[in-house]
């Protein structure tokens, strides 16, 4: 089965979209790459970066004649985009996406997909805390999971065609149920981000002099939370609006556990604290042996000179 597509249309060209464009070009996975964005300045940035062959503000124009269309915008924009492109989608084309939630996406996109178009929702679990067309790089997906959540009626050959595309970009592909995906991602990604946002917010509320010392002494643990909490606000807003049930379920478990831990601190129960802190090590070890992390001591990362950071242009993986 050929991995090569005739025309790849990317709707949205942030960190993920631009990385797909670069990886697909490098692996020769598409003859033509069409890029569409809502904002003219983002489109110009993509053009200056030579990310594709066709640049248009009209998403329907971008998808016309495309045999692979991937939505790479925040999830909240999907419904209106799909309504706009539906008449232009070619029979036989694959329509996919890269959003961090899947059941909601299937719910809003499916009703608008024309007969003959294969809709297969997807989620590459990869990213950095930066965003925008210039943040992309072709190695982003190397060794990273890409989850596909086709509905039962989807032709398995089409799912395999899309899986081959992702594998050619370096991903390891897993097919699963959309609801199950959302539950797993709620605890591995959405709750950690919510917690990170929350603790950084708590700090922002502390009075002025304490706040400056918090920043001064951030290397002691807080720093890692701020990196997560620097992710793209709109993308994350949409994640929490669209994966509410799984997030609230997992947050409920988290809060129950935190109450137990809080009580152990309050009552000075050292044995309970030590037991809790010991068992969490096993999880860390499993992650390292699963190849999703290295054992290198990252807390002691080299202390480089402060760097300028790009304006407000940061995203996150989801």
Tell which positions 160-179 bind a second copy, by CB under 8 A: 174
Of the residues 25, 47, 61, 145, which one makes contact with a second copy according to CB under 8 A = 145
| Residue nearer to a second copy on the CB measure, 68 or 191 | 191
| Residue nearer to a second copy on the CB measure, 86 or 187 | 187
Secondary structure, 3-state, 195-263: HHHHHHHHHHHCCHHHHHHHHHCHHHCHHHHHHHCCCCHHHHHHHHHHCHHHHHHHHHHHHHHHHHHHH
The CA distance from 262 to 266, in Å, is 6
Task: Quote the least distance from Cβ 192 to a second copy, whole Å.
Answer: 4
The CA distance from 24 to 3, in Å, is 10
Q: Is 78 in the site for a second copy (CB under 8 A)?
A: no
Task: Quote the least distance from Cβ 162 to a second copy, whole Å.
Answer: 19
Helix (H) or strand (E) run with residue 54 in it:
strand 54-56
| Residue nearer to a second copy on the CB measure, 87 or 201 | 201
| Residue nearer to a second copy on the CB measure, 113 or 187 | 187
Of the residues 129, 160, 167, 168, which one makes contact with a second copy according to CB under 8 A = 129
Q: Is 49 in the site for a second copy (CB under 8 A)?
A: no
Of the residues 27, 137, 160, 167, which one makes contact with a second copy according to CB under 8 A = 137
Pair 9, 69: CB distance under 8 Å: yes
The CA distance from 1 to 162, in Å, is 11
| Residue nearer to a second copy on the CB measure, 94 or 247 | 247
| Residue nearer to a second copy on the CB measure, 60 or 251 | 251
Task: Quote the least distance from Cβ 50 to a second copy, whole Å.
Answer: 21
Of the residues 91, 115, 153, 210, which one makes contact with a second copy according to CB under 8 A = 210
Length of the chain equals: 318
**Angular region, 92: left φ>0, alpha ψ -120 to 50, beta rest:** left
Q: Residue 280 CA to chain centroid, in angstroms?
A: 25
Q: Residue 207 CA to chain centroid, in angstroms?
A: 34
Binders in 280-309 for a second copy, by CB under 8 A: 280-301, 303-309
**Total binding residues for a second copy by CB under 8 A?**
124
Pair 68, 18: CB distance under 8 Å: no
Binders in 214-253 for a second copy, by CB under 8 A: 214-231, 233-234, 236-238, 240-241, 244, 247-248, 250-251, 253
Pair 34, 72: CB distance under 8 Å: no
Q: Is 314 in the site for a second copy (CB under 8 A)?
A: yes
Task: Quote the least distance from Cβ 66 to a second copy, whole Å.
Answer: 28
Task: Quote the least distance from Cβ 211 to a second copy, whole Å.
Answer: 8
The CA distance from 269 to 262, in Å, is 10
Task: Quote the least distance from Cβ 268 to a second copy, whole Å.
Answer: 6
């Amino acid at each position: 089965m050929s991995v090569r597509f005739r025309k790849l249309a990317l709707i949205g060209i942030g960190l993920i979209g631009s990385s797909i464009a670069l990886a697909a070009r490098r692996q020769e996975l598409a003859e033509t790459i069409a890029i569409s964005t809502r904002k003219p300045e983002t489109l110009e940035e993509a053009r200056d970066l030579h990310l594709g062959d066709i640049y248009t503000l009209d998403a329907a124009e971008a998808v016309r004649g495309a045999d692979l269309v991937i939505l790479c915008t925040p999830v909240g924009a999907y419904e209106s985009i799909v309504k706009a492109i539906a008449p232009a989608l070619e029979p036989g084309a694959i329509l996919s996406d890269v959003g961090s939630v899947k059941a909601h996406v299937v719910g809003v996109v499916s009703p608008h997909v024309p007969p003959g178009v294969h809709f297969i929702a997807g989620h590459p679990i990869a990213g950095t805390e930066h965003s925008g067309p210039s943040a992309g790089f072709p190695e982003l997906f190397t060794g990273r999971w890409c989850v596909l959540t086709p509905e039962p009626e989807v032709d398995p050959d089409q799912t395999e065609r899309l899986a081959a595309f992702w594998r050619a970009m370096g991903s390891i592909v897993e097919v699963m149920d959309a609801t199950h995906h959302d539950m797993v991602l709620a605890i591995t990604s959405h709750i950690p981000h919510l917690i990170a946002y929350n603790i950084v917010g708590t700090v922002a509320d502390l009075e002025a002099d304490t706040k400056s010392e918090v920043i001064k002494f951030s290397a002691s643990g807080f720093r890692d939370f701020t990196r997560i909490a620097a992710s793209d606000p709109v993308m994350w807003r949409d994640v929490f609006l669209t994966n509410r049930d799984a997030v609230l379920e997992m947050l409920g478990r988290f809060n129950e556990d935190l109450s137990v831990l809080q009580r152990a601190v309050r009552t000075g129960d050292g044995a309970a604290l030590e037991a809790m802190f010991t068992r969490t090590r096993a999880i860390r070890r499993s992650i390292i042996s699963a190849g999703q992390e290295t054992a290198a001591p990252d807390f002691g990362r080299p202390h480089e000179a402060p760097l300028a950071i790009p304006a407000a242009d940061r995203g996150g993986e989801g």
